[in-house]
Homo-oligomer: A and B are copies of this chain.
Amino acid sequence: MSVPSKRCDVLLPELSTPAALLDLEKLERNLGWMAARAKQLDVRLRPHIKTHKSVHVGRLQTRGQHGGITVSTFAEASAFADAGFRDITWALPIPLSRVAEVASLSTRVDRLHLLVDHPDAVEALEAHGRSCGVTFDVLLKIDCGNHRAGVDPRSENAVELGRRLASSVHLRFRGVLAHGGHAYACTTRDQLERVAQQERDETVGFAERLRAAGVEVETVSVGSTPTMAVARALPGVTEIRPGNYALFDVFQATLGVCTLDDVALSVLATVVGVYPDRDTLVIDAGGLALSLDPGAMHIDRDGGFGRVSVPGVASMLRVRSLSQEHGVVEGLGRAGAVRVGDRVRVLPNHACMTAAMFSEFNVILDGRCIDRWPLARGWNP
């Protein structure tokens, strides 16, 4: 593990709460695991940095890789470009309100891939490219069963849209992209494997139909953390875009993709109340610190809003409910001698949502905070 130089040295009890803690050893282990998966699957790794929004994590994550990343917002794209990332895919159908901004950003990087799945977006991009002399790199987003965004890859419209992109003067058609987000609704590994197969098959199959129609397809991009955890082989796929694996969380552990010991993000909180009559304690991490993500409720209906690790107590407690700044934790009776003022750590249900609640990570190594890494939050640079 390459340990960065210590830029600060703070003991955990000295941190103000709530605070986001990033366990550097677990992070490195998680990053190494997916890098090995990509190598084994013989695909490029273009990690989705929305999970952490940190250029420091992004640099560790792309070591030894080709350097491409995936982002979810224009703010992330811009911050990572500023930090030297040159190959960026914005994995949201391009909001046309951002066209002028992406045109400007695209001149600062080698490639800024934009997603399209509708002729109107294609037309608007072409018109803007024509008027300001920019050529946009575009990927065609397909729906591989998630039913959120994307064209139906089996439709004639999809092939027609690919043809149109390929023949455009102000667009460079780079390939096809899908996200098997419906993996998060699975309950068994078998189901996960089927979604991973579907994600691959629909995307590669569509790329082949485009090629048969005379359209050159360079990039065939798939991926989520759960599907990339279980995929056995990805012939025809050129790159994968998992993101959550960097931090992992209670949802992924419930899904069986990791263990709770792999979760690299936690929220440090202070116990502000203990209520033996109600068997609860209250911490100063509420819905704004942990996010209101209910986690994998389809598997664990009473999973609560995060797992609480109390020093000296073997089993973890559950966050039962959240209000804005209060977290109610159940199981005080199992929490031993926990007292008002004690610190606890909460493993989040959904690390991407929880990380985004904070402006910085406290980077933890050997029980000390050795650095602070800012997050590129929000939507505007």
Residues in B whose Cβ lies below 8 Å from that of A97: 15-17, 270, 341, 343
For A14, give the chain B residue with the smallest CB separation: B97
Are B96 and A148 closer than 8 Å at their CB atoms?
A: no
A272 interface residue (CB < 8 Å to B)? yes
Number of A interface residues in the complex (CB < 8 A): 62
One digit per residue, 1 when the CB lies within 8 angstroms of any chain B CB and 0 when it does not, for chain A 335-370 equals: 000011101000000001100101100000000000
B292-A17 in contact (CB<8A): no
Flag whether A41 is at the interface (Cβ < 8 A).
Answer: no
Please determine whether B96 and A380 come into contact, CB atoms closer than 8 angstroms.
Answer: no
CB closest chain-B residue, reference A270: B95
Whether the Cβ atoms of A50 and B92 lie closer than 8 Å is no
Q: How far is the CA of A95 from the CA of B342 in the complex (A)?
A: 9
| A278 and B147 contacting across the interface, CB-CB below 8 Å | yes
Query: Chain B residues near A287 (CB, 8 Å)?
Result: 291, 293, 353
Task: Indicate if the CB atoms of B325 and A73 lie closer than 8 Å.
Answer: yes
A residues with a Cβ closer than 8 A to B are 15-19, 50, 72-74, 92-98, 101, 117-118, 120-121, 124, 147-150, 152, 181, 270, 272-275, 277-278, 282, 284, 287-289, 291-294, 321, 323-326, 328, 339-341, 343, 352-353, 356, 358-359, 378-380
Q: A92-B272, A95-B284 are in contact. List 6 more A-B contacts (CB 8 A).
A: A15-B97, A92-B284, A118-B274, A118-B340, A289-B379, A292-B294
Closest 6 CB pairs of A and B: A96-B341, A93-B272, A95-B270, A292-B292, A120-B340, A95-B284
